[in-house]
Amino acid sequence: MYVGEIAALTTACCWAIAARMFQLLGAYFSPLALNLWKGVLAAGVLSIVTLFNPIDVDLSSTTIYWLLLSGFIGIGLGDTFFFRALNTIGDSQSILVAETLAPIFTALLAMIWINEWLTWQQWIGIAIVILSVDVIIKLQKRNEQQLFSLSGYVFAALAAVCQAVGAVISRDVLTSTGIDAANASLYRLLGGLAAIGILMLFMRRRFTPLKPLGKSGVKLLLWATLLGTFAALYLQMIAFANTKAAIVQTLFATSVVLSLLVAVFVGDKVNKKTFIWSLTALVGVSVLILS
């Protein structure tokens, strides 16, 4: 009971914690190179896990194709579009657009593709969570100069579309085939790595670190990968296997709220309005889970 919802919230928690690690790793890698190497390392871990947990269902080549395509679009193209948005309109506006549109696009696509409908209570829960997350983002970045670039907002919207497509395909494959989360994660990640590799070759991006990692950098990369890529991707597949795609995608957005808890833990201050809207987001989560 509530397995999918708990997995989705745990995924958001993993992202919230790993985000700080990946931010530090930005001093060593370009965004695409970091995306590539964390994916390669996570794929290695998943390969070991799947050796002890072989696929126990018959998978057609078509099913494998859809899983690879899910990763190609959702991980490879989605992350790349998001990085482009970050470089154009900044992190607050990019997150605002992507996290607002992704659950909505996912809900609409799930209705069309897999005939997965939400109740009116679930729509209310989604609305509360999205509104709360949007307000928190604006409060956290209230002093940042707002940049306007149509292309930046288009890239953020495309990132949301890619997230939605990846989510619905994953949900469809997981529920129709019964494949386990580890093997589904591996196929999806391989699809994402293919997209990233192609993009890096096409754009002639550097594959190697910008400067030597050292022991501390290697340790940081390993922990960030285990938490933010391996664990998050595995839990993500468990969530999609057990809960409606739009609900899962909405719960992922709570990583913005959970990152505030991480901030408090490391000594950062959180203002009263942000705290109140965080509680409001939790109300929305409760409505989603209990409806």
Could you report the per-residue pLDDT of 231-281, keeping only the tens digit for each? 999 999 999 999 999 999 999 988 888 877 777 776 667 777 888 888 898
Looking at residue 47, its pLDDT comes to: 95
Q: What is the mean pLDDT of residues 99-106?
A: 91
Could you report the per-residue pLDDT of 27-45, keeping only the tens digit for each? 888 888 888 999 999 999 9
Instruction: Give the residue with greater pLDDT, 175 vs 263.
Output: 175
Looking at residue 204, its pLDDT comes to: 86
Q: What is the mean pLDDT of residues 205-212?
A: 85
Radius of gyration (C-alpha) of the chain in whole angstroms = 18
Looking at residue 32, its pLDDT comes to: 84
Cα 70 versus chain centre, distance:
13
Distances (CA, A) of 239 to 11, 80, 159, 171, 181: 9, 24, 20, 9, 9
Q: What span, in angstroms and rounded, lies between the C-alpha atoms of 23 and 21? A: 5
Residue that has been written with the tokens 């080549």 in this structure: 61
Looking at residue 128, its pLDDT comes to: 93
Could you report the per-residue pLDDT of 52-62, keeping only the tens digit for each? 888 877 888 99
Could you report the per-residue pLDDT of 117-145, keeping only the tens digit for each? 999 999 999 999 999 988 888 777 654 54
| Residue 110 · residue 249 · CB < 8 Å | no
Flag the least confident range among 100-109, 214-223, 251-260. 251-260
Q: pLDDT band for position 71 (50/70/90)?
A: very high
The rounded percent of the chain whose pLDDT value lies above 70 is 94
Looking at residue 43, its pLDDT comes to: 95
Q: What span, in angstroms and rounded, lies between the C-alpha atoms of 168 and 156? A: 19
Looking at residue 146, its pLDDT comes to: 52
Taking alpha carbons only, the member of 143, 148, 149, 175 closest to residue 240 is 175
**Interior CA angle at 276 toward 270 and 279, to 5°?**
105
Per-residue pLDDT at 92 exceeds 80: no
Looking at residue 79, its pLDDT comes to: 84
